[in-house]
Amino acid sequence: MWHEAVDPTLKEHLEELVKKVAREKKAYSIAKSPTKAQLWCALAVLAKEVSDLRLKVSHFEKQRKQKDNLSLKKALEKF
């Protein structure tokens, strides 16, 4: 099958994405064009993952900024 020819570094990611998209089979199977709907579902899954990662990065950046501000405040207090 075609997916056996996929680069090994991508294969695991492809398999995981296929599993996640398969959860939406009820939705894309009733579409006029199920294959197109399946691709849109895959894009939605990836978009959600990107959004989740952006939220996490933003959270960690805020934490780091707070720590940096505390360190600066302590340094200024010692001065």
Report the alpha-carbon distance of residue 19 to residue 42 in Å, rounded.
10
pLDDT at 72 over 70: no
Compute the average pLDDT of residues 59-64. 91
At 79, the pLDDT band (50, 70, 90 cuts) reads low
pLDDT digits (tens, 9 = 90+) for 17-45: 999 999 999 999 999 999 999 999 999 99
Other Cβ atoms closer than 10 A to 21: 19
Listed in sequence order, the residues at least 6 apart from 29 whose beta carbon sits closer than 8 Å to its beta carbon are: none
Structural domains of the chain, count? 1
Distance from CA of residue 38 to its chain's centroid? 18
> By residue range, what is the domain housing residue 13?
2-78
Compute the average pLDDT of residues 47-71. 90
Q: Is the pTM of this model over 0.85?
A: no
Radius of gyration for the alpha carbons in the chain, expressed in angstroms and rounded: 22
